[in-house]
Structure 1
């Protein structure tokens, strides 16, 4: 019996990649859904699939009956940005007895998903928010490190994207939502306010060179302090690969900070078009760095350093890997504990690395 997987936003930028990745699995029946039934039908027809793909119309605002009509076993919400988005899709999935996951990286959305825990448990379904680079991938690295670093004291990491115009307005809006805005991060054991895209720094990425980074917001900044009890310092950074775009974002963030511009995410569609003018300066290479420090069981200081370099424009595939793996696992018979929670401890680092091998992605450690 096949697992019916409904991808909301299945014909969009990231949703299409997830659909193509799952299309050849004989244990999966794909349902491509979105606001436009015509677009969903056209994309479903064009897919090369093991089982004929279906199409349906479903908007983020419901009604729940529209999702129930698709008869899903698993719902994957690929429609961003998740900042300010309600839990309507997850609630509709629970109502029709379907499991749910998404690629959200919005702090409040992911950390607040527990409000649906009781309803998910009553329905016997798993609701997993944040099956993305943050917090799923970053937690996988920390969980692996915790096998030897018994007490993790400090964690810092950052993501430098390739050409931003390739990311889509939703992804760009997610980044712009915290640029010039205040949020908290763990410093010296206390949650301390910082400003998004501030405190500029340059980080050397292997085989890539130096790139600029600024402070970034993520669900991890709330979740990891409880997950790793000895954690004292925690920072997340982000940057553009193309320097003029990075410093243009710095300037806009400063203007937003002093009140001369509103929140920048509302300008995402326009800024994507402007960013496309700089694509000729890009290389299609994304980078990730991570440093984890602490002590081993004997109290000896330990440090683990990690890098991911994604070439050929393959960086945007990384946030999609957790939902792809969750769908495959469920179709193969794996069952996740019912309840609503952030996607932590669901995908192991070994599973990530096995998937990297299918792309122009190199992961190294030191």
Structure 2
């Protein structure tokens, strides 16, 4: 909750006086994140609401910033009208959930807000809750308030991203989207309860232009979330969830043929557990997984493993403005603890918009399309949250290998790097000088000999030739007469958006990431005869290309955690005859 803004704009102060001068916020995992986003603004006074006053007091005291903070007791299952009357907020934000299992009077909180002339917004991800909120539209208009439902990742952010993509289409046939929370994210028990409410149960979807039924958490799409210029998330299975988008998309795009919304629960062990138990519901061996939600929530902590990163994607396909086939996708990756802020950035944008004297139109509706993507992106800027779009047109699959990997981030590269890789069919020949270091360990020496890495030398002539055949590049590196070769290609399937480089039976998978004046290569996996090997044991090191004094320079370091340095070579190259 928030109390009367202090030192705010005149229009905002006037709105407060006519609307009882408060924001309200019902505190939970995401409610806490919203409070953290708003506590730096002295115009606000946050009312931290929850069933436990002691917890509300503790949380309020932990918040810094210039905003006022006031802990209050609020029980959504109690006399909502009486509780709201006592604190009289200007805006009530319900961030608690789960909205799938409200029970009783599902809309008791927004109805009470309408009766008291209080604006309302929520983070609902329940398909039914968001769809039926429009039944309150006439009441909200009469009361002169807005009621916005689903101001979260689905559908507010997903539709903002889709509206950005739709600018390039004349017709959209297929839409899919999904979220992939970090396995280490602080996901509240209500999120797990929401997921288990539809696990294994029928989920209405569109398939081939016909209304069909999917199975919650059983059907899946494999997607690699990869914003241009960012290290992709590990490829994952996004399992069908019953999100509001599945109702809203056919209303937005006439003639839509198919749609899908999914979640990639991490770690994979927890996802497999959810999928297996969802099958028990499908077979009617269990009526629901909801009784097991507390156990699954407790299990999510000890099972947490892998990178502390999360993400989201929205993908559309159809025809571009010229009638040609087009696939476009929007990707987001959030690093570390910044992920849980993503679902509440829309709420932050709303409240700051109100503080600046701009109100959404009166009435009750879903928040889909309420804010443009730019409003969310402004909120992302303060965090390690990266987003961007990728486009795939028929002719683009024939572009040079390195141009296809980083997407639009390719345009950021210095000219010397781009010119080296952006070559016509046939390849390129370069020559220059380099310094080579070799590891001295027994295993490192054997690996270096098998691959053909050069021996240690302080200054050696280097010649690099790569030829293209279709979408594959064949590389030959010659250090003073000692050659070693590799094959490079773009990964696909679970290796999508990665550079795959084959050295004999070994395949190294790398993310190609522009980083200022450098192009970095970050090892994301490796295989022996196609068999995946532990990433922690993967060979790699500091590998990058850069432009110095208008000349192409390279730095390659190959080693492993158990065997130490294998080889390190660095130097410069220029086109032969250039």
TM-score using structure 2 length: 0.61
Q: Is the 8 A contact 1:61 1:89 kept in 2?
A: no
Greater Cα offset, 226-235 or 97-106: 226-235
- Paired position in structure 2 for 1:187: 207
1:32 pairs with one of 48, 59, 75 = 48
Aligned pairs for 1:239-254 within 5 A: 239-254=264-279
Measure, in 2, the Cα distance between the counterparts of 1:332 and 1:230: 39
- Secondary structure of the residue aligned to 1:18 is helix
Asked if residue 287 in structure 1 is aligned to residue 318 in structure 2, the reply is no
- Secondary structure of the residue aligned to 1:354 is helix
Asked if residue 138 in structure 1 is aligned to residue 158 in structure 2, the reply is yes
2:148 pairs with one of 128, 135, 149 = 128
Q: Is the 8 A contact 1:164 1:172 kept in 2?
A: no
Asked if residue 170 in structure 1 is aligned to residue 170 in structure 2, the reply is no
- Paired position in structure 1 for 2:30: 14
Asked if residue 316 in structure 1 is aligned to residue 340 in structure 2, the reply is yes
How far off its partner does 1:297 sit?
Answer: 3.5
How far off its partner does 1:353 sit?
Answer: 1.6
- Paired position in structure 1 for 2:86: 69
Q: Deviations over 1:310-347 (max 9, x none)?
A: 12132221111111111111111111111100002222
Greater Cα offset, 200-209 or 229-238: 200-209
Q: Is the 8 A contact 1:132 1:320 kept in 2?
A: yes
Aligned pairs for 1:241-280 within 5 A: 241-279=266-304
- Secondary structure of the residue aligned to 1:191 is strand
Q: Is the 8 A contact 2:185 2:340 kept in 1?
A: no
1:217 pairs with one of 231, 237, 242 = 242
How far off its partner does 1:165 sit?
Answer: 6.9
- Paired position in structure 2 for 1:333: 357
Measure, in 2, the Cα distance between the counterparts of 1:164 and 1:180: 25
- Secondary structure of the residue aligned to 2:214 is strand
- Secondary structure of the residue aligned to 1:346 is coil
How far off its partner does 1:164 sit?
Answer: 6.7
| RMSD over equivalenced CA pairs, Å | 1.7
Measure, in 2, the Cα distance between the counterparts of 1:38 and 1:93: 25
- Greater per-residue strand proportion: 2
The 3 A distance-change label for structure 1 pair 42 and 287 is: closer
Measure, in 1, the Cα distance between the counterparts of 2:293 and 2:337: 20
Q: Deviations over 1:111-165 (max 9, x none)?
A: 1101111111111000000000000111111112222213221111222222277
Q: Is the 8 A contact 2:184 2:308 kept in 1?
A: no
Q: Deviations over 1:3-48 (max 9, x none)?
A: 5211012xx2111111111112122221111212232233223322
- Paired position in structure 1 for 2:483: none
- Secondary structure of the residue aligned to 2:358 is coil
How far off its partner does 1:262 sit?
Answer: 2.7
Unaligned runs of 5+ in 1: none
Q: Is the 8 A contact 1:165 1:276 kept in 2?
A: no
Greater Cα offset, 204-213 or 228-237: 204-213
Q: Is the 8 A contact 1:286 1:310 kept in 2?
A: yes
2:217 pairs with one of 179, 197, 209 = 197
Q: Is the 8 A contact 2:209 2:258 kept in 1?
A: yes
- Secondary structure of the residue aligned to 1:15 is helix
The 3 A distance-change label for structure 1 pair 172 and 67 is: same
- Secondary structure of the residue aligned to 1:112 is helix
The 3 A distance-change label for structure 1 pair 68 and 75 is: same
Larger relative contact order (Cα-Cα within 8 Å, sequence gap ≥ 6): 1
The 3 A distance-change label for structure 1 pair 165 and 143 is: closer
How far off its partner does 1:87 sit?
Answer: 0.9
How far off its partner does 1:242 sit?
Answer: 1.3
- Paired position in structure 1 for 2:379: 355
- Secondary structure of the residue aligned to 1:224 is helix
Q: Is the 8 A contact 2:270 2:300 kept in 1?
A: yes
- Secondary structure of the residue aligned to 1:41 is helix
Q: Is the 8 A contact 2:44 2:68 kept in 1?
A: no
1:53 pairs with one of 69, 73, 80 = 69
Q: Is the 8 A contact 1:99 1:127 kept in 2?
A: yes
- Paired position in structure 2 for 1:108: 128
Measure, in 2, the Cα distance between the counterparts of 1:261 and 1:84: 18
Would you say how many aligned residue pairs link Structure 1 and Structure 2?
363
Greater Cα offset, 30-39 or 202-211: 202-211
Measure, in 2, the Cα distance between the counterparts of 1:319 and 1:170: 15
Q: Is the 8 A contact 1:27 1:332 kept in 2?
A: no
Q: Is the 8 A contact 2:124 2:150 kept in 1?
A: yes
- Paired position in structure 1 for 2:405: none
The 3 A distance-change label for structure 1 pair 87 and 164 is: farther
2:251 pairs with one of 216, 223, 226 = 226
Which has more radius of gyration? 2
Q: Is the 8 A contact 1:68 1:92 kept in 2?
A: no
